Amino acid sequence: MTVLEKLAALRQQMHQEGVDVYVVPGNDPHASEYLPTHWHEMNWLSGFKGESGTVVVTMDRALLWTDSRYYLQAGIELEGSTIELMRESDIDCPTIPEWINELEQSGIVVGVNPEMFSVNDFSEWQEKLTLRSVDLIRPIWTDGRPAIPQDRLYPYSADFAGETVEQKLTRMRRKMAEKHGDALIISALDEIAWLLNIRGNDVAFNPVVVSYVVLEQDKCTLFVLPEKVDTVARNYLDFNNIDQQPYEAVFDYIRSLSGTVLFDGAKVNQALYEAIPAECRKQNEKSPILIDKARKNAVELEGERIAMLQDSVALTRFFKWLEELESDGQWLTADGQLTECDLMDRLHEFRMMGDNFVEESFGTIAGYQGNGAIVHYEATPDTCATVHPQGMLLLDSGGQYLDGTTDITRTVWLGGEIPQQAKLDYTYVLKGHIALATARFPRGTRGNQLDALAKQYMWQAGITFGHGTGHGVGHFLGCHEGPQNVRTDNNPTALEVGHIISDEPGIYRTGMWGIRTENLITVIPAERTEACTTEDDFLTFETLTLCFYDTSLIEFSIMTEAEIDWINRYHQRVYELTAPLLNDEEREYLRRKCAPISK
């Protein structure tokens, strides 16, 4: 079916159900960022491949709301579909409820699938619109819809996790008791994986298991497809006193609950909420698992350092290979050509050589020249650009290791004379990157209070960017994790010791280049200074990522001595930790890349 045929089929369903507007969000029943393909409903309907978006369909119009990361991509992929792009990051863009209420029509009925809406979102929309819970995609997506994943789940050793299942369940039950909770509904896949020390292969780049959990004071029940539990998994679940029921049985089980039921309305979907008996006391608050999972323990942090070292080796080998592939302005390949996909494949090969490597932590972004300006660019064999040995290359990649999750971006210049504007852009980004990495701040500081540190130099030049400066990162879990972050939006979550976030300011010039520099950093206690005049505890960051910067792109005239000193000390650490894992030629290459710099 073409997009036009899908829209026609949906409108026929809308007519039959008496629905005036139908909303298809890019969600799944678990509020996941990366969705199993079974729930790629928004993408299937629209042809838009971005990870974030919502399609709204009326009888005569169709629109896609998405944020600034995807404006360029959406403009290309929606062409010819009749679906209009709504630029939701723009100040003058109405929200979906606002747009629907502006329609010149009374008594508008808005159809939504309650499994695809969190309790909080459904409640917010219900205050403004007349909602009808109905699934209109299932009847029309009958040809080729992927099944719910059936890959087997597997235990994740406490040697990597740093805690046993028993320790985690005991702590969560204690927190439930503090809230007088009799049951806790858990639907977020990363929270389930963390709590039960299980992992799986159900979602690309995320080692999670499609499932639900209901935790009670005397039992823990995992709702999962039976095909996913083999003998090893069954024995593991039995040993940890975890009951197992079929995935869809969660609704009937919730209907049997009594007492006080706790749930996180930002994660739990509306269909689960509606299954809670009316006589139960329903308590909506932030998940205690979300909060604990974000604070990495000592074993998890040490695992992250080990994973970063594996990444450093892979990236050193990759950039050495790339540099040696160029000769006299030509690539030394069989056909003299090199594409963005070739770079992605080669980096994957180098990462696969690392100990405990499982998969990428997200789809590698290899953006050459103007493609680097597309923030979440995805090169495919049919669309990827040819890379020439001159110009800007943005490489954003990461790995999932049993030890931890990595995410790193480096921007490099490939041969030839570097434009002055490129050097200025790179240096503005690097200065902001260093400013955040070296920040000292009192306990209780939120990420949005630090955001301007990373943007200050580009702001002075009249430049900014639309994505967040930093996102939380999981431990052999999601590359994007909450509740902590660093971005303009107000987030009440204070940064705490053990939080891991990214540090990734960027500059993007459409049609020219994209520049982003990203390390992962973790919050640690700061040493008390003699000048301190208060009793407040201060925090700072430890940089976890290990990889050199392209110093040829630095405009030294706007760098301070302190910034140059920081780079030199960082490069010295990169070399000292990575060199022992390299051969002689690789060590010499890394020594050159980490050589001290000065004005």
Per-residue pLDDT for the chain (599 aa), expressed as one digit of tens each? 999 999 999 999 999 999 999 999 999 999 998 899 999 999 999 999 988 999 999 999 999 999 887 888 899 999 999 999 999 989 999 999 999 999 978 889 999 999 999 999 999 999 999 999 999 999 999 999 999 999 999 999 999 999 999 999 999 999 999 999 999 999 999 999 999 999 999 999 999 999 999 999 999 999 999 999 999 999 999 999 999 999 999 999 999 999 999 999 999 999 999 999 999 999 999 999 999 999 999 999 999 999 999 999 999 999 999 999 998 889 999 898 999 999 999 999 999 999 999 999 999 999 999 999 988 788 888 889 999 999 999 999 999 999 999 999 999 999 889 999 999 999 999 999 999 999 999 999 999 999 999 999 999 999 999 899 999 999 999 999 999 999 999 999 999 999 999 999 999 999 999 999 999 999 999 987 777 766 678 999 999 999 999 999 999 999 999 999 999 999 999 999 999 999 999 999 999 999 999 98
Whole-angstrom Cα distance, residue 89 to residue 427?
26
**Does residue 358 form part of some domain?**
yes
Give first-to-last CA distance, the chain, whole Å: 60
**Does residue 359 form part of some domain?**
yes
pLDDT recorded at residue 33: 86
Calculate the alpha carbon distances from 430 to 149, 426, 570 in Å.
41, 6, 13
Whole-angstrom Cα distance, residue 411 to residue 422?
11
Calculate the alpha carbon distances from 565 to 122, 333, 426, 433, 599 in Å.
51, 39, 18, 14, 11
- Residues 313, 287 share a domain: no
**Does residue 394 form part of some domain?**
yes
Overall pTM > 0.75: yes
What are φ and ψ of residue 20, in 5° steps? -90, -35
**Does residue 599 form part of some domain?**
no
**Does residue 213 form part of some domain?**
yes
Taking Cα atoms as reference points, which of 444, 383, 472, 434 lies closest to residue 558? 434
- Residues 341, 230 share a domain: no
- Residues 361, 275 share a domain: no
Place of tokens 């309907």: 45
Whole-angstrom Cα distance, residue 516 to residue 549?
11
- Residues 275, 304 share a domain: no
The answer to whether residues 69 and 34 touch, using CB atoms and an 8 Å cutoff, is no
**Does residue 144 form part of some domain?**
no
Helices 298-324 and 561-578: crossing angle in degrees, nearest 10, is 90
Eight-class DSSP state of 598: -
Edge to edge, what strands does the sheet with 408-414 contain? 365-368, 391-397, 408-414
Count how many domains the chain has: 3
- Residues 326, 416 share a domain: yes
The answer to whether residues 181 and 469 touch, using CB atoms and an 8 Å cutoff, is no
In one-letter notation, the amino acid at residue 558 is: I
Could you say which of 263, 293, 323 is where a domain stops? 293
Eight-class DSSP state of 276: S
Q: How many residues does the chain have?
A: 599
- Residues 498, 440 share a domain: yes
Say which residues have a Cβ less than 8 Å from residue 103's Cβ, sequence separation at least 6: 21, 58
**Does residue 145 form part of some domain?**
no
Could you say which of 98, 133, 168 is where a domain stops? 133
Q: What is the DSSP string of 409-476?
A: EEEEEESSPPPHHHHHHHHHHHHHHHHHHT--EETT-BGGGTHHHHHHHHHHTT---SS-SEEE--SS
**Cα within 13 Å of Cα(164), Cβ side:** 8
Q: What is the DSSP string of 484-507?
A: EEESSS---PBP-TT-EEEE--EE
Please name the helix (run of DSSP H) or strand (run of DSSP E) that holds residue 83, with its range, or none.
strand 83-87
In one-letter notation, the amino acid at residue 444 is: G
Taking Cα atoms as reference points, which of 586, 324, 558, 369 lies closest to residue 457? 558
Taking Cα atoms as reference points, which of 310, 290, 296 lies closest to residue 160? 296
Whole-angstrom Cα distance, residue 473 to residue 404?
10
- Residues 222, 107 share a domain: no
- Residues 193, 73 share a domain: no
Taking Cα atoms as reference points, which of 275, 253, 311, 378 lies closest to residue 581? 311
Could you say which of 242, 270, 293 is where a domain stops? 293
- Residues 161, 98 share a domain: no
Whole-angstrom Cα distance, residue 506 to residue 512?
14
Rounded to 10 degrees, the C-alpha dihedral 304/307/312/315 comes to -120
The total of other beta-carbon atoms located within 10 Å of residue 47's CB is 17
Domain holding 280, by residue range, is 154-293
- Residues 403, 549 share a domain: yes
- Residues 542, 457 share a domain: yes
3-state secondary structure of 223: strand
- Residues 584, 554 share a domain: yes
**Does residue 245 form part of some domain?**
yes
| CATH number of the domain to which 126 belongs | 3.40.350.10
pLDDT recorded at residue 71: 87
| CATH number of the domain to which 402 belongs | 3.90.230.10
